[in-house]
Chain A
Amino acid sequence: GESVGLHLPTLSVQEGDNSIINCAYSNSASDYFIWYKQESGKGPQFIIDIRSNMDKRQGQRVTVLLNKTVKHLSLQIAATQPGDSAVYFCAENRGRYGKLTFGQGTILTVHP
């Protein structure tokens, strides 16, 4: 029979461009959000996080923006490099005990 799989959003950029990856979340009670990067054959790797009492947080070459009004999260990567090519996941903490609920992911491809 036909297999069914997740159709992940994809983003292709040129090396040196800025990348913006978007994520919509559903639970208005979520108070913590986190971005992970997953390269082929590896586990998710922490990039940056943000709490719901903030709307922006910056790291090294990355910025996370949180818009609680429309329940939207974005990850901005400055001067994207080929090594940034990966699947990017947003995740939210919907409850206690640090249990994260992950989004479906976005495939980022950076062309040299």
Chain B
Amino acid sequence: DSGVTQTPKHLITATGQRVTLRCSPRSGDLSVYWYQQSLDQGLQFLIQYYNGEERAKGNILERFSAQQFPDLHSELNLSSLELGDSALYFCASSVRPGDEKLFFGSGTQLSVL
């Protein structure tokens, strides 16, 4: 167990809908990362937060947004969902942004039908 908690484990929704994925980092970790894993793209970095502030952005679509709250948990919001958004979404955490060793949660499997 990495100590990173993600909910829900599975999410099934329809095209055009909006969902929120939740992540609680390991105790003491201030930095949270979101990754998307799909069959055709592999593990892709989406976005990173540190102590409530956005620190780095990757291949995140404009329909997606994220935030980190004062208690350090993070949410990834996916809107206007398309079939191609079906993927595993992972949250990872580290103590601080310069810590390269990331600890991953078990992921949320999103299925858009």
Contact = CB atoms under 8 A, between A and B. Distances in A.
Given A6-B42, A98-B98, A102-B42, A46 B103 contact: yes
Contacts of A41: 106
B94 to A, nearest CB: 6
Contact of A43 (B40, B101, B104): B104
Interface in B93-111: 94, 96-107
B31 interface: yes
A44 B43 contact: yes
A96 interface: yes
Interface in B55-113: 55-56, 58, 90, 92, 94, 96-107
B79 to A, nearest CB: 24
B36 to A, nearest CB: 11
Interface residues of B, number: 31
Interface in A19-74: 32, 34, 36, 41-46, 49
A5 B45 contact: no
Interface size class of chain A, counting residues whose CB lies under 8 Å from the partner chain: 20 to 34
A103 to B, nearest CB: 8
B98 A96 contact: yes
B97 A98 contact: yes
Contacts of A91: 43
A100 B2 contact: no
A59 to B, nearest CB: 13
Contact of A44 (B56, B90, B94): B90
B42 A105 contact: yes
A95 B43 CA distance: 17
Interface of B: 2, 4, 31, 33, 39-45, 48, 50, 55-56, 58, 90, 92, 94, 96-107
14 contacts: A4-B40, A5-B40, A6-B39, A34-B101, A36-B104, A42-B106, A45-B104, A46-B103, A49-B101, A93-B100, A96-B97, A101-B45, A102-B42, A105-B43
